[in-house]
Chains A and B, each alone.
Chain A
Amino acid sequence: MTAISRDEVAHLAHLARLDVTEDELDRFAQQLDVILQSVQRINEVAAEDIPPTSHAVPLTNVYRDDEPRPSLSRADALAGAPDTDQDRFRVPRILGEEE
């Protein structure tokens, strides 16, 4: 079944917030098609009554006492920021004037 079209790849790239070039669209559509055909096989074996495993370690919430501990200093935390203002991260405007 699943043949993945060029339009579908474009849609998925949009959902993933990924600009792709025209050339990439052609290439990815063809490559993803091959990959999807190959992975289809999993449907041969995984029956209704098999419980899914999402993780190798049984996951449980891990709690600790709510005690203050040392954290990164302000200078360390800001060291990787492209721009700062008054000990804070400075980020570009994302809303228009009227919003």
Chain B
Amino acid sequence: MSDITKKTAAELGEAIAAGDLTSEQVTSAFLARIEAVEPKIHAFLHIDADGALATARAVDARIAAGGKFGPLAGVPIAVKDIVVTKGLPTTAASKMLEGWIPPYDATIVERIKAAGLPILGKTNLDEFAMGSSTEYSAFGTTHNPWDLNRIPGGSGGGSAAAVAARMAPLAIGTDTGGSIRQPGAVTGTIGAKPTYGGNSRYGLIAFSSSLDTPGPVTRTMLDAALLHEVIGGHDPLDSTSIPQPVPPVVEAARTGLTGDLSGVRLGIVKEFASGEGAEPGVIAAYQAGVDALVKLGAEVEEVSCPHFTYALPAYYLISPSECSSNLARYDSVRYGLRVGDNGERSLEEVMAATREAGFGPEVKRRIILGTYALSAGYVDQFYGQAQKVRTLITRDFDAAFAKVDALVSPTTPFTAFEFGARTADPYQMYLADLYTIPSNLSGGPAISVPSGLSDGLPAGLQIMAPTMRDDIAYRVGAALESTQEPRLSDQIPDVA
């Protein structure tokens, strides 16, 4: 592994700006690393070496000519394959979109390009971002660098594994119920879900529109904050985008790294503290993280969020409902796959045959579940009730944040499990998102930071903050990171 790929994105950006490295050297180093490691990890669905190198050379030329760029100029990035990229295949890991090349860029991709970050390629995920293990990708699963027989988390397993295996210093994920944070926790990386509406969803292939949020996957808190500032902010093309400036996350991360948390009040969610159903090692790693935060001066008190334990069932009604509606567009007529169009079948038959052939098992399961939850006779009992639970969870957050600045919990109940361990029982798989879902339902920001190892596998500590106060989560996360020497993300086994 070259020294270049060991550096953080912030270090690489500084070296490029100072002329100590060129973006072409950096991009080439990561492409070489991808070539060496990708066969074992399979983090990518598409690699764009030529495009990345062309961007790198263009950035180098502009820097040499005295052009001004942000702090990540020239630092390469990987993008989850559910975010559309002009001219680059985008599949959402589904046969339904195999071979599709979007004619436009998502807003966050436009911002990445404007900031001068070469795009290395598109990363693997659970089909249409539905899953917690990347086992539901139509194009093969991704392997966890800590143990190649284990899952890298999901749905953003490709993005997390690419960063963990140092194939990319930065990656973009999307988080609907934990799909940035849970893969972050099980691969020993940082996964940050920004405030819903703080980052544009324009150009994200929709899964559950009221929950989907794009955000950074990185190896350090400062890198996450730098990327957050590149992609964040109001977008007139997204009607749910919040017309406010990006919270000062980079400044907050730098403050956090000084290791001083005096005056910061942290709430431990009582309902999650017992760790019921969680692995003891995960709870121990989380407890060690809390102890470290207390040593830095944080005040900790227990707060009750009595409805958080209802978040999981509410989510598994709301997200399939929105998914069944969003995925109706894959109807064989407008775009995507078409199967059985032999002139003898009716339109409905072609539609049904296409959707059968194009969707994998988890997607089908959720479409049927969503159709059920929205059907006459059940809509009040399921979808309507779930939306009331959403109100109760938001009230729990409001009450907690009246007392404390941020809430902490484990990120996941268990570390990376072995392939196939949970695919037979979908509800066992859904439990992976137990702790991450409340902040999706309320819309507030949440970040997973590595907090220790359990039986040699990484576990994460989650920090949840009030809406548009992402900076608080960054400060606390960076403080926790500052206590780790070496950082957990520097201890990831070299799979080469």
**A residues lining the B interface (CB < 8 Å):** 4, 8-9, 12-21, 24, 27-28, 31-32, 34-36, 38-47, 50-57, 59, 61-62, 64, 72, 76-77, 79-80, 82, 91-94
Q: Is the CB of A45 within 8 A of B425?
A: no
B364 at the interface (CB under 8 A from A): yes
> Which one, B197, B356, B425, B442, contacts A20 given CB within 8 A?
B356
Given A20-B356, A45-B389 in contact, is the A56-B197 Cβ separation under 8 Å? yes
* CA distance in complex: A51, B17 (Å): 52
Taking chain A's interface residues, is the majority helix, strand, or loop, or is none over half, making it mixed? loop
Q: How far is the CA of A8 from the CA of B373 in the complex (A)?
A: 13
B324 on the A face (CB < 8 A): yes
- A35-B430, A39-B317, A59-B240 known, 11 other contacts, Cβ within 8 Å: A8-B372, A18-B364, A24-B364, A31-B365, A34-B426, A54-B210, A56-B196, A56-B210, A72-B103, A80-B101, A82-B338
- Kindly state whether residue B149 has any CB partner on chain A within 8 Å: no
B24 interfacial contact with A, CB 8 Å: no
Find chain B residues with CB under 8 A from A91 CB: 333
Within 8 A of A (CB), among B340-378: 341, 343, 347-348, 350-353, 355-356, 359, 361, 364-365, 367-369, 371-372, 375
- CB of A4 within 8 A of CB of B103, answer no
Q: Which of B220-250 contact A (CB under 8 A)?
A: 236, 239-240, 242
Q: Please report whether the interface of chain B is mostly helix, strand, loop or mixed according to DSSP.
A: helix
CA distance A4 to B392 in the complex (A): 28
Q: How far is the CB of A32 from chain B (nearest CB, A)?
A: 6
Chain B residues whose CB sits within 8 angstroms of the CB of A16 once the complex forms: 324, 328, 355, 367-368, 371
Q: Are A57 and B359 in contact (CB under 8 A)?
A: no
Size category of the binding interface on chain B: 35 or more
Contact B389 A46 (CB under 8 A): yes
Q: How far is the CA of A42 from the CA of B308 in the complex (A)?
A: 11
Chain A residue at smallest Cβ distance from B316: A39
What residues make up the interface of B, taking CB atoms closer than 8 Å to A? 100-104, 196-197, 210-211, 236, 239-240, 242, 307, 310, 313-314, 316-317, 324, 328, 331, 333, 335, 338, 341, 343, 347-348, 350-353, 355-356, 359, 361, 364-365, 367-369, 371-372, 375, 381-382, 384-392, 394, 425-427, 430, 441-443, 467
**CB < 8 Å: which of A9, A43, A46 contacts B392?**
A46
Which one of B103, B331, B426 contacts A80 once the chains associate, using CB atoms below 8 Å?
Answer: B103
A76-B103 CB under 8 A given contacts A52-B391, A82-B338: yes
A40 to B180 alpha-carbon distance, docked (Å):
27
**Least Cβ–Cβ distance between B129 and chain A, in angstroms:** 18
Q: In the complex, how many angstroms separate the beta carbon of B373 from the nearest chain A beta carbon?
A: 9
